[in-house]
Chain A
Amino acid sequence: SQTIHQWPATLVQPVGSPLSLECTVEGTSNPNLYWYRQAAGRGLQLLFYSVGIGQISSEVPQNLSASRPQDRQFILSSKKLLLSDSGFYLCAWKEGSYNSPLHFGNGTRLTVT
């Protein structure tokens, strides 16, 4: 069966520090991969998605970047965090077909102080 791992679960970082969040998927190949951000009391904002190794699409211009160095690994990074980067970050994967659901990790709660 497929599983998705996302870490760390919580992170407190000072403004201006770098960020690296990692997500890996097991039990499937060539998944579509996603990073969403959820602000308190709000819906999910799609940040990045990837349909293959090295292929990254950005949905919102911001202080973040994403990379996919391996088929089932997706990394969210920042060189210098801003206060506004605080939030709940969710990694997800889906198969490439139209009518397939997203499978989410347990999320990372990031607080920038």
Chain B
Amino acid sequence: SQQGEEDPQALSIQEGENATMNCSYKTSINNLQWYRQNSGRGLVHLILIRSNEREKHSGRLRVTLDTSKKSSSLLITASRAADTASYFCATGGGSNYKLTFGKGTLLTVNP
């Protein structure tokens, strides 16, 4: 079964606005990662946050992690049309071999 679940399933915003996506998971994790997928392409790693971290930044991306609530959020600030893609969270648990993905959030940024 899938570990992470993203919310919302789809999000449509205007260019320049901020986009927030959430991810909930069920079991303990070593880290949580966010990936981006353009239509018909492979996934690209965006950011990794470890279980002992609460917040991490990378350019226009801000990720938070609340292990007590088993949830994470991805904030994209000042969105651009080029940010249009599906965004997935993935969790790494007890085994260092496997990442389990959610179903993703489809973000559409309108110019």
Whether A42 lies near B96 (C-beta < 8 A) is no
Contacts between chains A and B (CB distance < 8 A), count: 59
Q: How large is the interface on B (under 10, 10 to 19, 20 to 34, 35 or more residues)?
A: 20 to 34
Instruction: Of the listed stretches B38-46, B57-65, B74-82, name the one at the interface; the rest are far from the partner chain.
Output: B38-46
Q: Give A67-93 as 1s and 0s: 1 = Cβ < 8 Å from B's Cβ atoms.
A: 000000000000000000000101010
A residues engaging B (CB < 8 A)?
6, 32, 36, 41-44, 46, 49, 51, 57, 59, 88, 90, 92, 94, 96-99, 101-107, 109
B residues engaging A (CB < 8 A)?
2, 30-31, 33, 35, 40-45, 48, 50, 88, 90, 92, 96-104
Whether B101 lies near A107 (C-beta < 8 A) is no
Distance in Å: Cβ of B25 to nearest Cβ of chain A? 13
- Cβ-defined partner of A44 (8 Å) among B40, B41, B101: B101
Which B residues are in CB contact (< 8 Å) with A105? 42
Query: What CA separation (Å) do A42 and B99 show in the bound complex?
Result: 16
Distance in Å: Cβ of A2 to nearest Cβ of chain B? 12
Q: What are 11 of the A-B contact pairs (CB < 8 Å)?
A: A32-B97, A44-B43, A46-B98, A59-B98, A88-B40, A90-B42, A99-B50, A102-B45, A102-B99, A103-B45, A106-B42
